[in-house]
Amino acid sequence: MTFLDQLRTAERQNGSLLCVGLDPEPAKFPEHLRGDASKIFDFCAAIVDATADLVNSFKPQIAYFAAHGAEAQLEKLMEHMRRTAPQVPIILDAKRGDIGSTAEQYAKEAFERYGADAVTLSPFMGFDSVAPYLKYHGKGAFLLCRTSNPGGDDFQPQHLRDVPGQPRLYEHIAALAQGPWNLNGQLGLVVGATYPAEIERVRALAPTVPLLIPGVGAQGGDAVATVKAGWKSVEGTTTAPIAVNSSRAILYASAGPDFASAARQEALRTRELLQNASAF
């Protein structure tokens, strides 16, 4: 089963457009775990177990593990997710963007060491920074396209060559992902929930490409506007799935021993919000 098949299946089985981001910060852990980086696996595994039937994907952010020397805990977490939630694909949020033999090593890290189903990439060094990942049959690669951070305005919405009428940079990336770069049909795009009008534009340019949409929850993105812009239905099925990511709002829904059940309640609330939006 390819990553795209996995994402569609999880969306259908769990009735969900929600991606839970796993960004563990020991300083924000519940009191009985707080500040203990050796408990990263325990914290994340509890979140996974509490939400696995409510999501269409999980998205561990590699920097939150590497910063604490917790790569072994990430490997253990990946194994745990594959064993306990095999129906839910895993997107490794790494934002790699190098070329040549270095890109090959990063691809090996994502797909062989960690066993991810998809990875996030920066496409700004060109197609040769993406090609090594496409050699892994069935694996997905999400290209940064229109991100939710304020600094994204510095380049992404600018016209190529500063000429009105030329495509904007994010539009150019969307067209490449829909067309010539998408050799195996497994490319996706990262578009921020804080720009629903631009999500709609990306979806128009890339109608069959899955979208990973961060920025809902703590970052303030409008979940309803996001779904209306990015999720399209044809005779009851999506033309391409979306994964709307929420991290901190779910992970840190409670600072007490009930943190996992509180995370589940927040995930339930967010899933329902997204599903209701998709009905319009």
CATH number of the structural domain spanning residue 259 = 3.20.20.70
Q: What is the pLDDT of residue 191?
A: 94
What does pTM read for this prediction?
0.93
Exposure class string for 38-47: b at 16+ Cβ within 10 A, else e: ebbbebbbbb
Residue 212 has pLDDT above 80, yes or no: yes
- CA torsion sign, 83 to 244 to 6 to 16? positive
3-state secondary structure of 187: strand
3-state secondary structure of 253: coil
Residue 239 has pLDDT above 80, yes or no: no
Q: What is the pLDDT of residues 182-209, one digit of tens each?
A: 999 999 999 998 888 889 999 999 999 9
Q: What is the pLDDT of residue 272?
A: 94
Nearby residues of 27 by Cβ (< 8 Å), 6 or more positions away: 34, 35
Domains in the chain, number: 1
- pLDDT range class, residue 152, cuts 50, 70, 90: confident
Indicate if 108 belongs to the active site: no
Which listed residue (28, 76, 95, 228) is catalytic? 95
- pLDDT range class, residue 234, cuts 50, 70, 90: low
* Residue type (1 letter), 85: A
Residue 114 contacts residue 74 (beta carbons within 8 Å): yes
Residue 15 has pLDDT above 90, yes or no: yes
Q: What is the pLDDT of residue 158?
A: 77
- pLDDT range class, residue 256, cuts 50, 70, 90: very high
Residue 189 contacts residue 206 (beta carbons within 8 Å): yes
Q: What is the pLDDT of residues 54-110, one digit of tens each?
A: 999 999 999 999 999 999 999 999 999 999 999 999 999 999 999 999 999 999 999
Find residue 22's DSSP bridge partners.
Answer: 60
Range of the domain at 25: 3-278
3-state secondary structure of 106: helix
Find residue 58's DSSP bridge partners.
Answer: 20, 90
Find residue 118's DSSP bridge partners.
Answer: 91, 140
Q: What is the pLDDT of residue 67?
A: 98
Nearest residue to 212 (alpha-carbon basis) of 119, 88, 78, 278: 119
- pLDDT range class, residue 216, cuts 50, 70, 90: confident
